[in-house]
Chain A
Amino acid sequence: MCAIASISDNFSSPSPTSQVQVLNINWFRNKPDGDDEVSMTMNISADLQSLFTWNTKQVFVFLAAEYETPQNSLNQVSLWDGIIPAKEHAKFYIHTTNKYRFVDQGSNLRGRDFNLTLHWHVMPKTGKMFADKIVMTGFYLPQSYR
């Protein structure tokens, strides 16, 4: 039954959409331990309704800041997440500061450009889980702390 459920999921072709705006950099500092940290306020909107099938239990959605530094080839930091329990709640618009701390390993964030990627994980009632994302580019942090 697990297999049938998963196979039927393969026939749906979802078309989610998303948009994110960074409204404000609230503060941007270098912490005493040497790591940069930034706080920002964002508008996050998305329509994930097309992901829901009869076999969908919930969709876990999260927004990650993704960037490269001289030290790390990839940094992925979750800024916000949510659980969408049903199709009716899958089209949303929220205004929020980052729920999780945006902290670098080191002090590489000044003037840093980054992507904001909306990821989703579809949890089935039974069977195979699948995940995908939308990458939004063109964001960058201030040149100096504030």
Chain B
Amino acid sequence: MKRAIDTMFRKPITQLVSMGMVITSALMIWKGLMCITGSEAPIVVVLSGSMEPGFKRGDILFMHMSKDPIRIGDILSFKVDGHEIPILHRVIKVHEHQNTGEVDVLTKGNAYLNNNRFGDDMFLYAQDQMWLKQHHITGRAIGFLPYVGWVTIILTEQPIIKYILIGALGLLAVFSKE
């Protein structure tokens, strides 16, 4: 009797534990990456076309927030107060204050969407905010992989696909011969 229950429960429990291990490992790697790169978001998916043709929607950028000061030309991810999704743009102005070392930063997307002379990012920042400061900045881009980010975009923007995927995975788990 005991043996029958054993074999009946062993397989699903093993599968559950395996799945749990996979998820935990993924989380560990993600958090580890965050620690190593010192960045809030070590990998960022490009969501808009504002940096084309260099970066296109769906590309992914590897981010690192080193102690090096922010300098002109850096490609930064930054968050505007009240907005959760970081923006990826390039620094076009830096003013570093004497003594404090505090920086005022202005950014701009590279795409030539319009010939507007004043098409920098000030309009993106919070009202009355003219400059980005160090605390707005969440990372600096150091590397790049094209297309791979499309998976994230599709999963985020078409949540139904997420459910289909999870459902399929669940079915696979139930019917796997392991």
Q: Provided the pairs A100-B117, A119-B72 are in contact, do residues A2 and B143 lie with their beta carbons within 8 angstroms?
A: yes
**With A60-B110, A64-B72, A123-B54: A129-B143 Cβ-Cβ less than 8 Å:** yes
Contacts of A66 in B (CB 8 A): 72
- Report chain A residues within 8 Å CB of B73: 60, 62, 64, 119, 121, 131
A60 and B144 form a contact (CB under 8 A): no
Q: Are A83 and B53 in contact (CB under 8 A)?
A: yes
A66-92 interface code vs B (CB 8 A; 1 in, 0 out): 100011111111100101010000000
A99 within 8 A of B: yes
Q: Does B146 contact A (CB under 8 A)?
A: yes
Q: Which of B51-95 contact A (CB under 8 A)?
A: 53-55, 71-73, 75, 90, 92-95
A127 to B59, CA, bound (A): 12
A71 touches B92 (CB 8 A): no
Near B by CB (< 8 A), chain A positions 122-136 give 123-129, 131
B98 at interface, CB cutoff 8 A? yes
Contact A99 B95 (CB under 8 A): no
Q: Decide if A101 is an interface residue (CB 8 Å cutoff).
A: yes
The A/B interface has a contact count, at CB < 8 Å, of: 83
27 contacts between A and B (CB under 8 A): A2-B143, A2-B145, A57-B54, A58-B53, A60-B73, A62-B72, A62-B73, A72-B95, A72-B96, A72-B98, A73-B98, A73-B101, A75-B94, A76-B72, A76-B93, A77-B93, A81-B92, A81-B110, A85-B53, A100-B93, A121-B73, A123-B55, A123-B144, A126-B144, A127-B144, A129-B75, A129-B142
Chain B residues contacting A121 (CB-CB under 8 Å) are 73, 75
List B residues at the A interface (Cβ < 8 Å).
53-55, 71-73, 75, 90, 92-98, 101, 104, 110, 117-118, 120, 141-146
Assembly CA distance A57 to B54 (angstroms): 8
- Chain B min CB distance to A81 (Å): 8
When chains A and B are docked, how far (Å) is the Cα of A100 from the Cα of B119?
9
- In contact, A76 and B94 (Cβ under 8 angstroms): yes
Tell me which residues across on chain A come within 8 A of B90, comparing CB atoms: 60
A12 contacts chain B at the CB level, 8 A cutoff? no
Whether, in the assembled complex, A105 has its beta carbon less than 8 Å from a beta carbon of chain B, the answer is yes
